Chains A and B, each alone.
Chain A
Amino acid sequence: MLAVVGTVPDRDFPLVIGRVALEGDAICIEGNRAPVNRGTPALVAAAFKAGEVLGQPPPLVYLVGDIGLGDGSRRLYAHLSRSPGEMGDDVGAIAFHYLQPDVDWHNKVLFAIQELTRPPVLIADAGFMYAAKMSGEAAAYDLFTPDVGELAFLADEEAPHPFYTRGFILHEGMKAPELIERAYRHENAAACLLVKGQPDVIADREGIYATVELPVEEAMEAIGGTGDTVTGMVAAMIGAGIPVKDAAVLAARTNRLAGYLARPTPATQVMEIIAQIPSALEQVLKEHRSSQECRHA
């Protein structure tokens, strides 16, 4: 099962823990609703949809309101670092998402989770990934899901945030394979990377494992939340027991296909793409099974 840890852009949203439901364009948890537009609600909605196709229970979510002041994130960090064991042994994967990057709190949470008798697969994206890299603990994670700009940040051993990525790394034509190699050389990458871009790249310390480049929908880059949906789907697949690298490939394919089916423009909102996830994932899984059968025939 998957657990998701993140924030909602509403200062009054309380710290809630529980199974999530998807009702129309909002996620619901313990009587609290959060609209799915981008950020952690988009990740949760995508994971929910993918989980339904995979026969998984709804994700267990840890959510709190935070509009960037970090107060909600710190409450959530404190709770997790005090009682990580309350998640239960059936949580096979945790996705950490839009949280205020804070190295001290990151370390407290990571070390508490590492004490569990059965540590889950650890996935980090967005602000928590920034903190994981800055803490020097990136290698403790199983998967990071950066976009290309964030990959440059991982590759820059000096940068504490993407805002400070040095120009020679960002703009001198350094390509994804070089950035990936550099990120691993400085121990700033998780065991696996799913780099969201054109193409999507799945890599580990040994190099490129796979690339996914079709279908191409240029407008996807402008749509807020399309990176969150990839992370949500890969997390759901890992929570369902699919190996990390295979899950990354399947999630990248599904996100592209869902985007294609939504016929997006730069003004499309992410919920229109999330609505296409079930049919896209069914199709991708069918193709995947066929290719495996061919390989074994």
Chain B
Amino acid sequence: MSILSFFKGKGSKDSQRADTQDRGILVFEHTSEVIRAETVIKDAGWRVRVMGPPPEIRTGCDLVIEFPLIEELNILRILEAAGTRPLQVVPVTSPLLQPVDIFQTKDYGQHLMVRAANMKLTVDKETLTVVNVSGGGCPDVPYLAQEMVGKTLADAPAPESIGHTLCGYALQLAYEEMRRRC
């Protein structure tokens, strides 16, 4: 199997492994740009992962996209066309941090709460109305809460569409899990 088939298309899901020297990371200014770029690249059929940046380029609230270095030009071309150019492209030289991927749920009877990392989303199980957003520490959390609370899951904006930080990304994971469950 070629390195290409590891990363491109649905047929590659049988293996997640790639050697460190084969991978690079795309660095963006905001998490919201990472989320947009991830969608663009995945829609084009490439397998990429959202990860934590290496220590030397961390600023405090970061995500990067890990991608197969051999495909750098193709992926940059796709991003360029979508108007989402990264600030930097850096080869991976050390293990990257893995985002939290475990969900916790709490059933209050009428309400269900889903927690992803430090973010919690609570909905009314009958009406599917978002009744609360809690946790987190980045400034888009109060903004996301303001925009989502009081709306149904169908009507509320997805956190990925208006969030900008890691807390916003974590809330998106909780939102997706909630939609799976409700």
**A interface with B by C-beta (< 8 Å):** 7-10, 35, 37-41, 66-70, 72-73, 98-104, 106, 125-131, 134, 147, 149-150, 153, 158-167, 170-171, 218-219, 221-227, 265-269
| Residue numbers in A under 8 Å from B91 (CB-CB) | none
Which 8 pairs from chain A and chain B are nearest by CB?
A: A68-B140, A39-B142, A126-B137, A68-B164, A101-B60, A9-B143, A267-B131, A162-B118
User: Which of chain B's residues 137-169 have a Cβ closer than 8 Å to chain A?
Assistant: 137-143, 145-146, 149, 162-169
User: Interface size (B, Cβ < 8 Å)?
Assistant: 51
B100 to chain A, nearest CB (A): 6
In the complex the two chains form, what is the Cα distance from A246 to B177 in whole Å? Answer: 40
Q: Apart from A69-B32, A70-B139, A163-B118, what 16 extra A-B contacts exist at CB < 8 Å?
A: A35-B146, A69-B164, A72-B139, A101-B60, A101-B61, A161-B61, A162-B117, A163-B170, A164-B100, A165-B100, A166-B98, A167-B102, A171-B102, A221-B106, A222-B106, A223-B132
Residue in A164, A225, A267 whose beta carbon sits within 8 Å of that of B52 in the complex: A164
B28 to chain A, nearest CB (A): 12
Q: Which residue of B lies closest to A98 (CB)?
A: B139
Whether the Cβ atoms of B111 and A39 lie closer than 8 Å is no
| Residue numbers in A under 8 Å from B32 (CB-CB) | 68-69
| Residue numbers in A under 8 Å from B61 (CB-CB) | 70, 100-102, 127, 130, 161
B158 to chain A, nearest CB (A): 14
Q: Which residue of A lies closest to B166 (CB)?
A: A163
B99 adjacent to chain A (CB < 8 Å): yes
Whether the Cβ atoms of A37 and B145 lie closer than 8 Å is yes
B139 to chain A, nearest CB (A): 4
Whether the Cβ atoms of A159 and B97 lie closer than 8 Å is yes
| Residue numbers in A under 8 Å from B31 (CB-CB) | 68
A127 to chain B, nearest CB (A): 4
Whether the Cβ atoms of A222 and B118 lie closer than 8 Å is no
B49 adjacent to chain A (CB < 8 Å): no
| Residue numbers in A under 8 Å from B134 (CB-CB) | 38, 221-227
In the complex the two chains form, what is the Cα distance from A160 to B51 in whole Å? Answer: 12
In the complex the two chains form, what is the Cα distance from A160 to B98 in whole Å? Answer: 11
In the complex the two chains form, what is the Cα distance from A70 to B29 in whole Å? Answer: 10
| Residue numbers in B under 8 Å from A38 (CB-CB) | 133-134, 141-142, 145
17 contacting pairs across A/B (C-beta < 8 A): A37-B149, A67-B164, A68-B30, A98-B141, A149-B117, A150-B137, A160-B55, A161-B52, A163-B99, A164-B98, A166-B98, A170-B100, A221-B120, A222-B106, A266-B131, A267-B124, A269-B132
Whether the Cβ atoms of A67 and B60 lie closer than 8 Å is no
Q: Which residue of B lies closest to A158 (CB)?
A: B97
Whether the Cβ atoms of B132 and A100 lie closer than 8 Å is no
Whether the Cβ atoms of B108 and A66 lie closer than 8 Å is no
| Residue numbers in B under 8 Å from A10 (CB-CB) | 143
Whether the Cβ atoms of B111 and A267 lie closer than 8 Å is yes
Residue in B60, B122, B143, B162 whose beta carbon sits within 8 Å of that of A266 in the complex: B122
| Residue numbers in B under 8 Å from A224 (CB-CB) | 132-135, 145, 149
Whether the Cβ atoms of A160 and B58 lie closer than 8 Å is yes
A164-B97, A164-B99, A266-B132 as given contacts; A39 in contact with B141, CB under 8 Å: yes
Whether the Cβ atoms of A100 and B97 lie closer than 8 Å is no
Q: Which residue of B lies closest to A104 (CB)?
A: B59
Whether the Cβ atoms of A161 and B141 lie closer than 8 Å is no
A290 to chain B, nearest CB (A): 34
B92 adjacent to chain A (CB < 8 Å): no
Whether the Cβ atoms of A68 and B52 lie closer than 8 Å is no
| Residue numbers in A under 8 Å from B176 (CB-CB) | none
In the complex the two chains form, what is the Cα distance from A129 to B133 in whole Å? Answer: 20
| Residue numbers in B under 8 Å from A160 (CB-CB) | 52, 55, 58, 60, 62, 97
B99 to chain A, nearest CB (A): 6
Whether the Cβ atoms of A222 and B122 lie closer than 8 Å is yes
In the complex the two chains form, what is the Cα distance from A150 to B137 in whole Å? Answer: 9
Q: Which residue of B lies closest to A97 (CB)?
A: B137
B115 to chain A, nearest CB (A): 8
Q: Which residue of A lies closest to B117 (CB)?
A: A163
| Residue numbers in B under 8 Å from A73 (CB-CB) | 139
| Residue numbers in B under 8 Å from A161 (CB-CB) | 52, 60-62, 166
Whether the Cβ atoms of B118 and A127 lie closer than 8 Å is no
